[in-house]
Amino acid sequence: MRDQGGVVVNIASVGASVNPPGLGVYGASKAALVHLTQQLAVELAPGVRVNAVAPGVVRTALSRSLWEGREAAAGANTLLGRLGTVEEVATAVAYLVSDDAAWVTGETLVMDGGERLA
């Protein structure tokens, strides 16, 4: 990639910047991934762009225990009043790998429906 160029998009988590009880190791690993994203952006520029997306709660099998049976209540914790979708995260990744984001590197796009602000 260094010779021909390329794009890396890491999938982090809003857990990198919040501290829910019992998820410290998970949050620390995601914070490390955010840092690694920035470090790789420095080391691989200018030929390779490196970014990350950091979703909040998205309706996936992995996060099922956080929303199943109480999706409306879980979504109520966000400014937008709902959980995210896999498609929304995929759209953000598609943007970051596209030429539309040709001047974006070393960034982490938080996608949590405004939960951190609520």
Question: pTM for this structure?
Answer: 0.91
Active-site entry in 26, 28, 29, 72:
26
What does the pLDDT look like over 85-111, one tens digit per residue?
Answer: 999 999 999 999 999 999 999 999 999
Q: Domain 6-111 class?
A: alpha beta
pLDDT at 102: 98
Q: What CA dihedral angle connects 80, 82, 86 and 89, to 10 degrees?
A: 20
Tell me, yes or no, if 95 is annotated catalytic. no
Q: Which segments of the chain does DSSP mark as H helices, in order?
A: 24-44, 64-67, 71-75, 86-97
What does the pLDDT look like over 2-43, one tens digit per residue?
Answer: 788 999 999 999 989 887 888 889 999 999 999 999 999 999
Cα separation, 46 vs 70, whole angstroms: 45
